[in-house]
Chains A and B, each alone.
Chain A
Amino acid sequence: MEQAQLLKGVLELAVLAVIARGETYGYEILSTLEDAGLDGVGDASVYGTLRRLEHAGHLTSRLAASDSGPARKYYSVTPTGTEQLRAGTKSWTDINSAFQKLVQP
């Protein structure tokens, strides 16, 4: 199975995790994900996920002028987003532990 397919399930958590570090914008989120090794995720998927999380109330955004080019949209995690991240991380950890038990000889 390709990494991109596996990532779809946790992309929402990964994006929340990046933004939870501090206010950031789309391109920086993509760069952070790539630097972390999640380079199989498409740019469109990240921007779509940002929009969905914002509509769900897990993120807030504001426009701020950038040094180069048009204004950037900066995202922050809301309290419900923080809770979503916490619950999702726990679920992911549980699944990962279960999976590790399955694959260990």
Chain B
Amino acid sequence: MTPENYVDRVSFELHDLPWRTRRDLVSELRTHLDELPAGTDLAARLGPPEQYAADLRAAAGLERGHGPIAFLRARRPRNLVITLVLLAVIGLAIGAVVWIETYQPLAFAGGGIEPAGAVEAPAGDSASLVYRQGRPFQLGTTVQNTGRFTVRVTGVPESAALPVFARLMMSGPLENFGVHPPYTRFHPFDLKPGESRLLFFEGIGAKCRWKGVTSVESALAVRFSFLWRTATAYIPLSQPLAIRIPYGTSCR
């Protein structure tokens, strides 16, 4: 066994010790081996490296270290790098999860559909509609993906306050924010970055359970999924729509 082999094996046995301590002990052992007469049988003179390390540890009162602190103290430069890399990876992973969990790229695209008969308020910031049983009804908005990644639009739950029998409809991708038929029944679709579509409910006035009340619709709750996450984005209508159900309305 060469002196360098011997030193390496002793050093390995002391790997749990603080970096500086191990460096000092190994340096001292190197010096000692240099002092020994040339050709000395190291194993015969000093014993096996493992035994040398154990005797050294026992005589110096150096207990074996365990756990993460011992790991960090043991091979400081290398362990520091490993720890920093691990922390960076964990930090990036946490950051990515947080980002994905809060990613919401859907926005109002600048247009929509209102029911026939809706009257715009003088201020021009809302509209109102008097409910009538069986009257054709359309209400929707345009949705744009303003993000950098494609998301999947999975549906729009119908507002419980909406007094209509309606089904959800959709357009194809909109060009220059124009709204172009034909429309189709809604089915889940991928909305690419920058792409817009019109989503709207189409049906007839019905289900007027609360007579004499006015309900206001101001947004569509658009469900979408991105990677593992499903979320809801509330996309505003062009303007809020107040639907008034007069007393004496015939309902079915």
Residues of A within 8 A of B (CB): 11, 26-27, 42-49, 51-52, 55, 68-73
Given A47-B29, A51-B25, A52-B61, check contact A42 B55 (CB 8 Å). yes
List the interface of chain B (C-beta within 8 A of A): 24-25, 27-32, 34-36, 45-47, 51-62
**Contacts A44-B47, A47-B59, A49-B59 given; does A26 touch B32 at CB 8 Å:** yes
**A27 to B46 Cα, complex, angstroms:** 13
* A47 engages B28 (CB within 8 Å): yes
Enumerate the 8 nearest inter-chain pairs by beta-carbon distance, A residue then B residue, closest first.
A48-B59, A69-B34, A44-B55, A48-B60, A27-B35, A44-B56, A51-B60, A45-B59
> Provided the pairs A43-B45, A44-B46 are in contact, do residues A52 and B59 lie with their beta carbons within 8 angstroms?
yes
Cβ of A42 to closest chain B Cβ, rounded Å: 5
Known contacts A51-B60, A52-B60: does B52 contact A44 (CB below 8 Å)? yes
Most buried by A among B28, B29, B36: B28
A residues less than 8 Å from B53 (CB atoms): 44
Q: Smallest CB-CB separation from A31: which chain B residue?
A: B35
Query: Could you say which residues of chain B place their CB within 8 Å of the CB of A69?
Result: 31, 34-35
CB distance from A20 to the nearest CB of B (A): 19
Distance in Å from the Cβ of A6 to the closest Cβ of chain B?
Answer: 15
Nearest-Cβ distance from residue A36 to partner chain B, whole angstroms:
18
How distant is the Cα of A43 from the Cα of B28 in the complex, in angstroms? 11
Most buried by A among B27, B34, B56, B62: B56
Sample of 19 further A-B pairs with CB below 8 A, known A49-B60, A72-B31:
A26-B28, A27-B31, A27-B32, A27-B36, A42-B47, A42-B52, A42-B55, A43-B32, A43-B46, A44-B51, A45-B56, A47-B28, A47-B59, A48-B57, A55-B60, A55-B61, A69-B35, A70-B27, A70-B31
